[in-house]
Structure 1
Amino acid sequence: KYFKEIGLQPKGTNGYEQPFKANLDTVHVLDARNVVGFLDNGADRTIVIGAHYDHLGEGYQRGSLIPDSKGKIHNGADDNASGVAGVLELARHFSKNKVKEKHNFLFICFSAEELGLLGSKYYANNPTIDLSTVNLMLNFDMIGRFDPNKAITVGGWGTSPTWGQVIPPVLERDKMAFKIDSAGAGASDHTSFYVKKIPVLFFFTGVHGDYHKPSDDIELINFEGEAKILNSVVGIVNAVDKLPNRLEYRETAMPMARNMSFKVTMGLLLDYSFNGPGIKVDGVSKNRPGEAAGIKGGDLILRLDKYTLNTIYDYMGALGKFEKGQTVEAEVQRGADKLTLPVTFK
């Protein structure tokens, strides 16, 4: 409704909506929908601006960090009503600023992020515009707890060499302390666009004690702080809009899982929505053990050495058993073929 009020074109498959099926687990399937609006400036490049609007509901789905969560409302004010508010405000700004930028804008509110980035992945695999025109994807996830004494995280820094040129002047002008995360992939919706070789930026004010708990509520949101972040984002978008050429995409290192450390890695980006058997590979980093072994995007890894893999946690547990210099067998399903590939950890 809001997208219509501010004059955005519907860019779903059913008006502004893009319905899809979300697998809650191997048995339960939910009806979900992304909400998509388009600001057509007649340009040959487009900027995607998105945030997920789902959270944990009444605590029945996985993800709550309190015991006995069932029946307790999780409003998700920071995660991620704050991000959705950012998308809506930027949609209002760019549609009402009486400026015709050299980019079109596609605004998307994603569903089913908490189930494994399902909404953004569905959109990226079933786009309603030509993804080859997308110059940049901006993602907002938890931007409501800005603390002026702490730095905001800007993720995706390594996905384009241009970020080091255009972002610091804007944030320094706005006296915004920031820290960078170079990875293009992570536990939010920008990942789905990064794997399509699109430069991304991810804005995040940090994890807090109310994360995935009923206490993540509106009284704790720093509205003025979020407005300051969005003002800086407008500055970054304006700087990108003035560039004569498209952004250059660069592949980045894969992020490590939080709170886990490994002596070895394979350099794989995994599909967190896949429900087994095996783990599904979405992407492979260059010059890493996975690529050297011949693993490709779309492969299912069924086994590493003696460890059967059915979940991401099985995979992380197996990695913790290996040492640098060790070679192990990976049993891989590729289409109808089963392969055994040697993985040497370096």
Structure 2
Amino acid sequence: MKFIKLTVFLLIVTACHNNKPVQKTIKEDVIYLSNDSLEGRQTGSKGELKAAKYIAQRFEDLGLQPKGTNGFFQEFSFKPKTNPHQKVNYTVKNGDSTITGTNVVGFIDNQAENTVIIGAHYDHLGYGAEGSLYRGETKQIHNGADDNASGVGVLLNLAQKLKDSNKSNNYLFITFSGEEMGLLGSNYYAKNPTVSNDKANYMINMDMVGRLKADSTLAVYGVGTSPIFKQTLKAHNNKFKLVQNESGVGPSDHTSFYNVDVPVLHFFTGQHEDYHKPSDDFDKLNYNGMRTISNYIFDVITDLNDNGKLPFRKTKNESEETPRFKVGLGVIPDYLFDGKGMRIDGISEDKPAQKAGLEKGDIVVKLGDSSVTDMMSYMKVLSTFNKGDKTKVVVDRNGEKVEKEIQF
């Protein structure tokens, strides 16, 4: 009898243990997703599908319900655009040029009226697809640890936190394919939702959240898409230097949801010299920073838990005001810099800035005869130059004004 009781007890303990979500750290998820074996997760590749299966298994282990069109998966087929201005044709016949991407969709059903969407793209550039900034002669894997294994890692961490909390909303977790090719996966989902867009409360997007800097600057875009966002972000911020942007339109997947009238927030820790290069590897990420970002987003979600359905508000499309230019300095701007001028966060090889002797950390304050006060003024003056033009550039270098000659 004692043996039977012990056996029953062990079965109960085992069953309880099996019902617990499988715990993994953000770092463990990032290391897997940015491993060479996934070959850069290019849309439609075997490596991307392997990543999709890993994410689906993580969703299942965390106790999420499948909410794709085929279990956790939502496939979409398309032909790559030959003209950047043409619309993507998702309805195509099978053929050599057809690519199939796979969104991975998991659901926490709290029997609530509305659903919060939490997203991050998991595709990247494979061995150096269009968009790569690598200029080496040998083909190399672009692992995309920050872009965007970091966002997926934080998404999975949030799924773990939200599994048994904040029950006033349902939660839909989507990892998107095709982002690097033009927000294709999120665009497809927004037009073919598995949970009605009318029931979408708001959408949180995380794209490149792995490089929080020493000054803890965190960019949050879309803060104008619902009136409550600014005060909520402020109320829970005691860690970050927030750089906020009102627009719901930007170069990441939140745009697809803003376009169907869903309030959006997009979190971003900034570009860097490894952006879209093979050197974007897991060992360069700030994992403490990612955990802090995850906790912050969780606090924001918790605050919004009992606010019902958030009102949506249209914002100015700042991308429409961005000037077009025919030349560039060959620098990576620091988009999170909020001082006077345009701070350089990276220098490209064999480009005008490097040839002129500009350095990472320089702040461009004058280009030609025009003062540079921020990113927009920098782009406006840059748009006035043509290939072959020569001009002067003045930078603030550690408090000293340095003048160089630039040839575009």
How high is the TM-score relative to the length of structure 1? 0.71
Aligned to 1:82: 150
- State the alpha-carbon separation in 2 of the partners of residues 188 and 100 from structure 1: 27
Contact kept in structure 2, 1:160 and 1:249, CA below 8 Å = yes
User: CA–CA distance in 2 between the matches of 1:150 and 1:89?
Assistant: 20
TM-score by length of 2: 0.61
Matched, 1:231 2:295: yes
Task: Name the % identity.
Answer: 45
Quote the Cα distance in structure 2 between the aligned partners of 1:179 and 1:224: 20
For the pair 1:246 / 2:302, whether they are aligned, the reply is no
| RMSD between superposed Cα atoms in Å | 2.1
- Equivalent in the alignment of 1:191: 255
Aligned length: 259
Question: Closer, same or farther in 2 for the Cα pair 1:210/1:111, shift >3 Å?
Answer: same
Report if the CA contact (8 A) 2:145-2:281 is conserved.
yes
Is 1:91 aligned to 2:159, yes or no?
yes
Cα displacement (A) at 1:255: 2.3
Of 189, 195, 216 in structure 2, the residue corresponding to residue 123 of structure 1 is: 189
2:71 to 2, 6, 15: 15
Find out whether 1:256 has 2:322 as its counterpart. no
Q: Which residue of 2 aligns with 1:105?
A: 171
Which whole-Å deviations, capped at 9, do the CAs of 1:201-251 have from their partners, x for residues lacking one?
Answer: 0000001111000011111100000000010000000011022x3211111
Tell me: CA distance 1:44–1:217, structure 2 relative to 1, closer, same or farther (3 Å).
same
Deviation of the 1:22 alpha carbon? 3.5
Give the corresponding residue for 1:310. Answer: none
- Does structure 1 conserve the Cα–Cα contact (< 8 Å) formed by 2:218 and 2:268? yes
**Residues in 2 aligned to 1:69 and 1:121: alpha-carbon distance in whole angstroms:** 34
Shift of 1:71: 2.5
Q: Could you tell me which residue of structure 1 aligns to residue 245 of structure 2?
A: 181
Structure of larger gyration radius = 2
Q: 1:90 to 1:50 in 2, by over 3 A?
A: same
Q: Contact 2:249–2:319 (CA<8 Å) still a contact in 1?
A: no
Number of the residue aligned with 1:202: 266
Which residue among 201, 212, 215 is the counterpart of 1:146?
212
Instruction: Specify which of 94, 102, 122 is matched with residue 33 of structure 1.
Output: 102
Deviation of 1:70 (Å): 6.7
8 Å contact from structure 1 (residues 36, 107) kept in 2: yes
- Structure-2 change in CA distance of 1:69 and 1:202 (3 Å): farther
1:19-67 Cα shifts (integer Å, max 9, x gaps):
11143334832111100000000000110000000000111x2010122
CA distance in 2: counterparts of 1:242 and 1:49, whole angstroms:
18
2:115·2:170 contact (CA, 8 Å) conserved in 1? yes
Q: Which residue of 2 aligns with 1:3?
A: 59
Q: 1:51 to 1:69 in 2, by over 3 A?
A: farther
Q: Distance in 1 between the 2:60 and 2:137 partners?
A: 36
Structure 1 residue 257, shift from structure 2 partner: 7.2
Counterpart Cα distance in 2 of 1:28 and 1:252: 37
Q: SS at 2:266's partner residue?
A: strand
Partner of 2:99: helix, strand, or coil? strand
Q: For structure 2, which runs of at least 5 residues remain unmatched after alignment?
A: 1-56, 83-95, 326-382, 385-408
| Structure 2 counterpart SS, 1:157 | coil
Aligned to 1:168: 234
User: Does the C-alpha gap of structure 1 residues 69 and 190 become closer, same or farther in structure 2, counting only changes over 3 Å?
Assistant: farther
Q: Which amino acid aligns with 2:64?
A: L
Letter in 1 for 2:323: S
Q: CA deviation at 1:68?
A: 4.7
- Per the TM alignment, residue 181 of structure 1 is displaced from its structure 2 partner at its CA by 1.0
1:221 is aligned to 2:285: yes
Change (3 A) 1:69 1:9: farther
Give, in whole Å, the separation in 2 of the partners of 1:45 and 1:234: 17
Name the structure 1 match of 2:123: 54
Does structure 2 retain, via aligned residues, the 8 Å contact 1:22–1:112? no
For the Cα contact (< 8 Å) 1:58–1:69, is it kept in 2?
no
- Deviation per residue, 1:53-90 (Å, 9 max, x gap): 0000111x201012257721000000000001011111
